[in-house]
Amino acid sequence: MYDAQPMSRPMVVSPERAGSRPLVQVLHDWIVTVDHKKLGVMYFSYGILFLVIGGVEASIMRAQLAVANNHLVSPETFNRLFTMHGTTMIFFAAMPIVFGFANYLMPLMIGARDMAFPRLNAWSFWMSALGGIILYFSFIGGSGLYGAGTAPDVGWFAYAPLTSPAFSVGHSTDYWIIGILVSGFGSIGTALNVLTTILCMRCPGMKLYRMPLFAWMNTVMAVLVLVAIGPLTAAQIMLLIDRYLGGHFFDTQAGGSAVIWMHFFWIFGHPEVYILVLPAFAIVSEVIPVFSRKPIFGYSIMVAATVSIGFISLGVWAHHMFTVGMTSYANAFFVASTAAIAVPTGIKIFNWLGTMWGGKIRYSVAMMFCVGFLCQFLIAGLTGIMLSAAPFDWQLGNSYFVVAHFHYVILGGIVMAVFAGVYYWFPKVTGKMLSETLGKWHFWLFVIGFHLTFDFMHIPGLLGMPRRIYTYDASRGWEIWNLIVSIGVIFQVLGILFWVVNLIITFYKGKKTGNDPWDAWTLEWSTTSPPPDYNFATIPVVRSRRPLWDSKHPEDPDWKYE
Amino acid sequence: MCSRSANCGRQNSTGQSQPVKGPAKWALQCAALLCFLAIVSGASASSFAGGPSSTPSIFNPASTPAHDIYHLSLFVIAICLGIFLVVFSLIVYAAVKFRARVSDDGREPPQIYGSNQVELAWTVIPILIVVVLFLAAARVIHAVEDARFPADAIEVTAVGHQFWWEFQYPGYGFITANVLHVPVSDPNHPRPTHITLLSADTDHSFWVPQLAGKIDLIPNRKNEMWIDPHDLGTYVGQCAQYCGVEHAKMLLTVDVQSPEEFERWTQQQKSPAMVSDQVAAGRQVFESNACVNCHTVTGTGANGKFGPDLTHLMSRTTIAAGAATNTQDNLRLWVKEPDAIKPGALMPAMQLEERDVDALVAYLMSLQ
């Protein structure tokens, strides 16, 4: 039976440290740590750092495109900007952030004292960090010793043969290859760790069917990482062989295949979308129930939908390749598989809605972001349906419509969920509540900016504007839409500023809060805020999916009904 | 249905309860809806123009493949808009209706765990919608990809280069660049143009939205597409697959002509280059410099294949794949300093003396 007050008997594992210590010692603690909470925070902070860098790159591009025939940046610079923006955001912002959540919360949510392999955990983080550093070192070393530095300019999916030595001289592409290769090792390590932790370290009583949905969705995420990163790593190694050992895998001038690279890349690239979005679903699946004051609607169906999303996502990759001239049968197959993934995804949206239905919804900032997520992810899904119809994609593929679509998924879906998660768990991580007032400024500015930018970004795509062009002529009629899109960026930047200020002010001066400020139900809220090194003094025992509900409502516990 | 009512007052642990923001939520929802409608209306604003437009909207089709896609897209958009309105209304309703009231008694709402009937409904209905969408898409895929062509279809081979288009007319035996000329196709007696797509270097994509969806030009691979424009005029598009520095200025034009005009144009293109003694000095400059390594002028020693065929340069209205109009001043600038028009273009600055530039431009202007 779950013990409601485990913290009444604090267990001293490490001696109480003095209040203030030298900076070197603090840094040393962080650098050598194998604690999942510290690593989680480091993953997250690292991701935020790159989120800001990628955001700056995006802002420069939007300034360039705000008016027709602009000369703010050269074409070379623009091409580097979109390559670095995409690579940074996917590999060094989004992935570290979702790994950060998994790292920090997974042991706490399943009643474990750490991840299964703490040293592997630290190693994985530092590999990911190294990858980012290598990628950005290209600014200094990209052209080799004989020239000024350049970042890679091959686009984030780096289609062959642009990456071959004939078209990419110098070393900028090598930095791109090796940076991603190295961070991929880290991702695989983290995935192994998350998976093992969930499978082997659950506290007594926490059967698989009693895990929080957060754990289920991260399980599927980890499996997808293990399956999807492999082909990417293989492709990067083949590309290195092409570039340095005279291989011809993708070297079209020597008979290699450009299309094989696309297959390798997208069989990674599409599951990658779900690697990022499943942890976002995981956050939403924890936040919505707590603020609606109801358990998640259709738990088992949610699990089934998650697993089927995992499976189907491995069979849809060639919808990124509808325009490469596949046969009508191949195109039709990928239309079917891509449209099919809408079914489990739709089920999730309906179940979140079902959770809100009949509840008593408390609109704290975390919940506001979740409702924003629901609306925006709905639209992202529907534009995805449009693109899944291959002939429609023949028009819209590689246009700004696609750019708007996947930013709707990533910013409107994943990042909104991440914001919700930060407002929800920040009191657990720091013991302090983020300001709700600043949070509302953050929410409204960001949402207004998001819609100005990405709603209107669909239109130039429908009007024939391809992506990755550094300029366009005024006669095309795209200028007004691009201007609105660029104006939206200002609001998004302001929103992010409010968020960062909120984080910093709260961290230093925020008001202290209790261990369970939201009156929540999962195990992480049963320990102190911030949790001690060992997480739980006594390992909890659970009898239902909501152990804290059981302890708060002993007269009517969940386990009677599950 | 497994539900129960929890008759337990909620312990308000640390005063965290949040103010209700009903009106604010409404504002969010309405803003999102307005933006979505703005997209649809904005994008369709140019769909009533008819005929060729300088804004290549996919909602203004002028050729069978583009028409087929247009009709499919209206169908798909209608379905998605319907789904959006239903689900969005439900979200708005739930978000407003079930908000915690100021007068809340602090008790937990009934704890409901799910409902198999409801789950079944919102699984089966989406599956049916997916099946319908698949069938609609498969029909258009088949119609466009597996089309048969009449014997008198025009054959063109398009070769993508960094950063321009080569158009070969094997049936006529000439090569031109950047502007694709095709005859108009009478729907009653269709005369489509069948385009074979190749690439000389990196990936490119042929996209003229009013005429057809895009298909990539990939090295070591042969792709195909077809168009049968119904209306005369000039259709614009551009490369839609990132291909290097000047991807943005790899513009594409399709000139749809009447059958007579098209025949006249092919006759003119087939003829060898004009020879004129007045521009002999320029021709001398052209043939004694690196120009001939990359450019062809039929009937002369220049037979380079790397750059556009210049035999009938002056029959084209633009240079540098649409980056500039084909005028004397621009030709001059292009020869002297290509980066001023198209930074990153593979045409080198030729470092000629002023006198030679004058002579060369005079020669180029004679290539009618």
| Tens digits of residue pLDDT in B152-175 | 899 999 999 999 999 999 999 999
Whether A371 sits inside 8 A of B99 (CB atoms) is no
pLDDT at residue number B123: 94
Tell me the mean pLDDT in the region A236-249. Answer: 95
Question: Count of domains in chain A?
Answer: 1
What CATH number should be reported for the domain holding residue A428?
A: 1.20.210.10
A477·B46 Cβ contact <8 A: yes
Q: Which CATH superfamily is domain B277-366 in?
A: Cupredoxins -  blue copper proteins (2.60.40.420)
Q: Which residue has the tokens 């990132």?
A: B242
A511 confidence band (pLDDT: 50, 70, 90): confident
A301 and B126 Cβ atoms separated by less than 8 Å = no
A108 — contact with chain B (CB < 8 Å)?
no
CA distance B108 to B89: 25
Measure the CA–CA gap between B42 and A558, rounded to whole angstroms.
51
Across all residues in chain A, what is the average pLDDT?
93
| Per-residue model confidence (pLDDT) at position A14 | 52
Confidence (pLDDT) at B368: 87
Helical residues (DSSP H) of A145-257, grouped into ranges? 172-200, 213-244
Asked if A379 is an interface residue toward chain B (Cβ–Cβ < 8 A), one would say yes
- Check the CA dihedral B235-B240-B242-B248 and report its sign: positive
Domain containing A64 equals 36-560
> Helix H segments across A14-171?
23-32, 36-65, 75-87, 95-109, 118-141
For position B139, what pLDDT does the model report? 96
* Sheet with B179-183, side-by-side order of all strands: B179-183, B251-257, B233-238
Q: Which pLDDT tens digit goes with each residue over A419-472?
A: 999 999 999 999 999 999 999 999 999 999 999 999 999 999 999 999 999 999
Residues 140-159, chain B, touching A (beta carbon < 8 A):
140-142, 144-146
Give φ, ψ of B101 to 5 degrees: -85, 160
Shortest Cα distance, chain A CAs vs residue B356, angstroms? 30
Range with the poorest average pLDDT among A90-99, A375-384, B9-18: B9-18
Contact flag B13-A349 (C-beta cutoff 8 Å) = no
The structure tokens listed for A427 are 């009191």
Provide the token pair at A411.
């910013």
Cβ–Cβ < 8 Å for A470, A73: yes
Beta-sheet pairing, B223-227 with B233-238: unpaired
Backbone angles phi, psi at B169, to 5 degrees: -110, 85
pLDDT at A110: 96
Q: Which of residues 254-283 of B touch A (CB under 8 A)?
A: none
d(CA B367, CA B269): 11
Mean of pLDDT values over A61-89: 95
Note whether B291 and B350 are within 8 A (CB). Answer: yes
Q: Are A398 and B205 within 8 A, CB to CB?
A: yes
Are A368 and B21 within 8 A, CB to CB?
yes
Report yes or no: A40 and A197 within 8 Å, Cβ to Cβ.
no
Q: Which residues of A78-105 are buried (b: 16+ CB within 10 A; e: fewer)?
A: bbbbbbbbbbbbbbbbbbbbbbbbbbbb
In chain A, the residue whose alpha carbon lies closest to the alpha carbon of B5 is A556
Give residue B103's pLDDT: 86
Residue A224 host element (H or E) = helix A213-244
Task: Provide the pLDDT for residue B3.
Answer: 44
pLDDT value at residue B43:
54
pLDDT class for A6, splitting at 50, 70, 90?
A: very low
Q: Give the amino acid at A254.
A: A
In the predicted model, is pLDDT for residue A77 greater than 70? yes
Cβ neighbours of residue B13 closer than 8 Å, sequence gap 6 or more: A514, A516, A517, A519
Pairwise CB contact (< 8 Å): B73 & A397: no
In chain B, the residue whose alpha carbon lies closest to the alpha carbon of A356 is B94
Which of the four pLDDT bands, split at 50, 70 and 90, describes residue A282? very high
A474 CB near a chain B CB, below 8 Å? no
Rg of chain B over Cα atoms, rounded to whole angstroms, equals 30
Q: Which residues of A touch B203 (CB under 8 A)?
A: 159-162, 258
Structure confidence by residue, pLDDT tens digits, A321-344:
999 999 999 999 999 999 999 999
Asked if A221 contacts A190 with a C-beta cutoff of 8 angstroms, the reply is no
CA dist list (Å): B89 to A281, A353, B86: 21, 11, 5
Q: Secondary structure of chain B in the HEC alphabet?
A: CCEECCCCECCCCCCCCCCCCHHHHHHHHHHHHHHHHHHHHHHHHHHHCCCCCCCCCCCCCCCHHHHHHHHHHHHHHHHHHHHHHHHHHHHHHHHHHCECCCCCCCECCCEECCCHHHHHHHHHHHHHHHHHHHHHHHHHHHHHHCCCCCCCCEEEEEEEECCEEEEEECCCCEEEECEEEEECCECCECCCEEEEEEECCCCEEECCCCCCCCEEECCCCCEEEEECCCCCEEEEEECCCCCCCCHHHCEEEEEEECHHHHHHHHHHHHCCCCCCHHHHHHHHHHHHCCHHHHCECCCCCCECCCCCCCCCHHHCCEECCCCEECCHHHHHHHHHCHHHHCCCCCCCCCCCCHHHHHHHHHHHHHCC
| pLDDT recorded at residue A140 | 80
- Residues with Cβ within 8 Å of residue B200, at least 6 apart in sequence: B159, B160, B161, B166, B219
Mean pLDDT of A271-287: 97
Return the pLDDT at B65. 96
**Interface subset of A 238-267, CB within 8 angstroms of B:** 252-253, 255-259
Q: Residue A171: pLDDT band by 50, 70, 90 thresholds?
A: confident
| Residue A260 zone, left/alpha/beta (φ > 0; ψ -120 to 50; rest) | alpha
Shortest CA gap A219–chain B (Å)? 22
pLDDT recorded at residue B11 = 36
- Cβ pair A462:B43 closer than 8 A: yes
User: Residue A8: which pLDDT band, with cuts at 50, 70 and 90?
Assistant: very low
The DSSP line for A94-121 is IHHHHHHHHHHHHHHHTT-SS-S-HHHH
Cα dihedral A119→A122→A128→A134 (10° resolution): -100
In a domain, A207, yes or no: yes
- DSSP-based three-state secondary structure for A64: helix
Does A92 contact chain B (CB < 8 Å)? no
Residues spanned by CATH 2.60.40.420 within chain B? 154-267, 277-366
A554 in B contact zone (CB under 8 Å) = no
For residue range B6-64, what is the model confidence (pLDDT) as tens digits? 433 333 333 333 444 444 555 555 555 555 555 555 555 544 456 788 899 999 999 99
Work out the angle at residue A105's Cα, subtended by the Cα atoms of residues A101 and A108, and round it to the nearest 5 degrees.
Answer: 170
Phi, psi of A452 (to 5 degrees): -60, -45
Place of tokens 């949905």: A213
A211 has a pLDDT exceeding 60 = yes
Q: pLDDT band for B102, please (50, 70, 90 cuts).
A: confident
CA distance A351 to A375: 14
Q: Tell me: the pLDDT tens digits for B307-349?
A: 999 999 999 999 999 999 999 999 999 999 999 999 989 999 9
Domain B19-101+110-145: assigned CATH number = 1.10.287.90
Contact B145, B215 (CB under 8 A): no
Interatomic CA distance for residues B26 and B28, integer angstroms: 5
Q: What span, in angstroms and rounded, lies between the C-alpha atoms of A553 and B348?
A: 79
Confirm whether A471 is domain-assigned. Answer: yes
CA distance A130 to chain B (A): 28
Give φ, ψ of B183 to 5 degrees.
Answer: -80, 150
Q: What is the pLDDT, as a whole number, of residue B14?
A: 36
CATH homologous superfamily, domain B154-267: Cupredoxins -  blue copper proteins (2.60.40.420)
For residue B317, count CB atoms less than 10 angstroms from its CB and return exposed for 0-12, middle for 13-18, buried for 19 or more. Answer: middle
Partner-chain contact B134 A553, CB within 8 Å:
no
List all residues of chain B from 285 to 344 with a beta carbon under 8 Å from chain A. 343-344
Cβ distance A339 to B130 less than 8 Å, yes or no, reads yes
A509 touches chain B (CB under 8 A): no
Q: Within a domain: residue A13?
A: no
Q: How many residues does chain B have?
A: 368
Contact between residue A468 and residue A82 where contact means Cβ atoms under 8 Å apart: yes
Measured in whole angstroms, the distance separating CA A447 from the mean position of its chain's CA atoms is 18
Residue B35 touches chain A, beta carbons under 8 Å? yes
Q: Collapsing DSSP states into helix, strand and coil, what is residue B16?
A: coil
